[in-house]
Structure 1
Amino acid sequence: MKKFVSLACVFTMAVSVLAGCGSAKTETKAETTGETVAESTAAAGGKLIMATEAGFAPYEYTEDGQTVIGVDVDIANEIAKAMGKELEIQNMTFDGALLAVQEGAVDFAAAGISVIPERQENMDFSIEYATSKQVIVVKKGADVITSPEDIKEGTAVGVQMGTTADFYCGDLGCDVKQYNKYAEAALELMNGKIACIVMDSLPAEQLVAANEELEILDAELFTDKYAIAVKKGNTELLDQINEVLQTLVDEGKVDEYTINHTTK
């Protein structure tokens, strides 16, 4: 009987608290009516949280092992500035970043994300702001993979988990080896554990520059385009992101950011 009474009290208190929360939200909405986007969003929280995987130079990477920089970070800073918020970056695996967006644990993900039907089912995407070729990284002198035609069913290919290369090579029936970071795949390639790595051209150039045993084949598999991902149905945030992105693209800022981070 005591347990029943206690539960009844807890239920009553919970209803009261929820009613209070509902009133607070209504009041906040009423107070922000008529304000600018920056004023409204700043009052709503103050932080804009971005998920990324900082092993994808020049789009996101670290020079000191902690601070994340790159093209996507430059773009994200402009978005946060336009919204009157402080940017917070959460560095995680690529798959983890996509999952965080789907679950609403972060505001958006920017990590050289390609727009493909499988992802569009679970999240919404901004306008595309960058284009990249998918290339093949091999070990110098190995002669195992010499052209795109050599990537076929049974070929041991290294990819970053959850990327378009992962899907592409899987569809070809390759023996796909998934890695969280390209540095791990590079080590496996140099040790002969895989025949090649399929990845985006700009990060591939950075990877090869850091590993003299590797080279990029003079051919491409397909062209990739990047966009920013938000939780499904979050049209308000998506519209704000698109507005800033379009301005950056029109003014040539995205190209400028890319040049800055590829000439370091």
Structure 2
Amino acid sequence: MDRGCTNRMGPLSFGALALVAAIATSGTLAPSAGAAGDPAALKICTTGDYPPLTYRDPSTGRYSGVDIDMAHDLADHLGRTPVFVASTWPTLMANVTAPGMCDIAMGGITDTPERRRSADVTEPYLSSGKTPVVAAANAGRFSSIEDIDQPGVRVIENSGGTNEQFARKNFPTAQITIWPDNTTIFDQLAAGNADVMVTDAVEAIYQSSLHPELVAQHPEQPFTSEVKAYLLPAGSPIAGEANAWLAGALSDGTFAGIYQRWLHTPAPEAPR
């Protein structure tokens, strides 16, 4: 997420600094209001708060990340101009279903039955699952649901998405704080204001690389098995083209190359 090398983060490794620099400089400017009405535009709703998949730099308005690069590739495939439309996790489905607001939603979106009831969902492109992130001093603690669901354990989660849903379902005994800003939530964990956050393994790995004081616990064996997909308004006229493009991007190395550039590790095998 928004990770400078000042007091919000603490010291960073050279590799982490490179990742931060990539986020800050390689994105796309947010659209003007007029651009969203252009019939040649591809309107992409995204939260911009979930690096390395989607991030909006507040100082420049630029979007960047794995799914932002994928959005550009989709727009090129369709012969349209990408226009990024700011969304949030609590409002994402309302944005997708609002007439004319989004052609597609992209950016670390988990495929869920609830979302499928309101929108068209592409084939999955990335496997993930919920895993805990803790301070390095607590490595080995809070590694199971039972460890976390205890009186006095301070859980912090972002608002409105599947992380909050998971925490409320699985940690009824713990103390849950819902943090409104997903770009600063890991700073709260690093500062000792919470004991654990449970999030998608891909984000856990990425954020622990930016925060040497944090540890992603067993991301290779997450609590859940989930997949990421892209959302389109129900009955979208580009649903077929989007799925055909995605299948090609997964088979011809486009997605693998983008993923490798951002995470500096090979992309996992595409989910089936």
Match in the other structure for 1:59: 53
1:180, distance to aligned residue in structure 2 (A):
4.2
Asked if structure 2 preserves the Cα contact closer than 8 Å seen for 1:47 and 1:87, the reply is: yes
Gaps of 5+ in 1: 1-43
Aligned match of 1:141 in 132, 137, 140? 137
1:94, distance to aligned residue in structure 2 (A):
2.5
Match in the other structure for 1:93: 88
Match in the other structure for 1:177: 177
1:50, distance to aligned residue in structure 2 (A):
0.4
Asked if structure 2 preserves the Cα contact closer than 8 Å seen for 1:59 and 1:70, the reply is: yes
C-alpha RMSD over aligned residues = 2.4
Gaps of 5+ in 2: 1-37, 266-272
Identity of aligned residues (%): 20
Alignment of 1:114-125 (within 5 A): 114-125=110-121
Distance 1:128 1:153 in 2: 34
Asked if structure 2 preserves the Cα contact closer than 8 Å seen for 1:56 and 1:203, the reply is: yes
Asked if structure 1 preserves the Cα contact closer than 8 Å seen for 2:50 and 2:183, the reply is: no
Match in the other structure for 1:227: 229
* Aligned length in residues: 220
Residues 167-216 of structure 1: per-residue CA shift (max 9 Å, x gap)? 22221144433334444222322344322111122222232222232111
Of 218-227 and 89-98, the range deviating more from structure 2: 89-98
Q: Secondary structure at the match of 1:141?
A: helix
Structure 1 residues 50 and 159, CA, compared in 2 at 3 Å: closer, same or farther?
A: same
Asked if structure 2 preserves the Cα contact closer than 8 Å seen for 1:58 and 1:70, the reply is: yes
Q: Secondary structure at the match of 2:108?
A: strand
Asked if structure 2 preserves the Cα contact closer than 8 Å seen for 1:157 and 1:196, the reply is: yes
Alignment of 1:149-164 (within 5 A): 149-152=146-149, 155-164=153-162
Amino acid at match of 2:185: A
Match in the other structure for 2:166: 168
Q: Secondary structure at the match of 2:129?
A: strand
Asked if structure 2 preserves the Cα contact closer than 8 Å seen for 1:145 and 1:196, the reply is: no
Amino acid at match of 1:147: S
Of 197-206 and 175-184, the range deviating more from structure 2: 175-184
Q: Does 1:49 align with 2:46?
A: no
TM (norm. structure 2) is 0.72
Aligned match of 1:77 in 72, 75, 79? 72
Of 244-253 and 176-185, the range deviating more from structure 2: 176-185
Structure 1 residues 62 and 251, CA, compared in 2 at 3 Å: closer, same or farther?
A: same
Distance 2:141 2:182 in 1: 18
Q: Secondary structure at the match of 1:202?
A: helix
Q: Secondary structure at the match of 1:114?
A: coil
Q: Secondary structure at the match of 1:49?
A: strand
Asked if structure 2 preserves the Cα contact closer than 8 Å seen for 1:93 and 1:180, the reply is: no
Distance 1:159 1:232 in 2: 29
Residues 207-246 of structure 1: per-residue CA shift (max 9 Å, x gap)? 2222232111235212221111111232x22112111111
Asked if structure 2 preserves the Cα contact closer than 8 Å seen for 1:58 and 1:71, the reply is: yes
Asked if structure 2 preserves the Cα contact closer than 8 Å seen for 1:183 and 1:207, the reply is: no
Q: Does 1:131 align with 2:133?
A: no
Match in the other structure for 1:109: 105
Q: Secondary structure at the match of 2:230?
A: strand
TM (norm. structure 1) is 0.74
Distance 1:86 1:182 in 2: 28
Distance 1:97 1:111 in 2: 11
Residues 46-104 of structure 1: per-residue CA shift (max 9 Å, x gap)? 10110112222221125674221222112211221222210001233223333211213
Of 67-76 and 54-63, the range deviating more from structure 2: 54-63
Distance 2:226 2:245 in 1: 22
Match in the other structure for 1:11: none
Q: Secondary structure at the match of 1:128?
A: coil
Of 220-229 and 166-175, the range deviating more from structure 2: 166-175
Asked if structure 1 preserves the Cα contact closer than 8 Å seen for 2:129 and 2:225, the reply is: yes
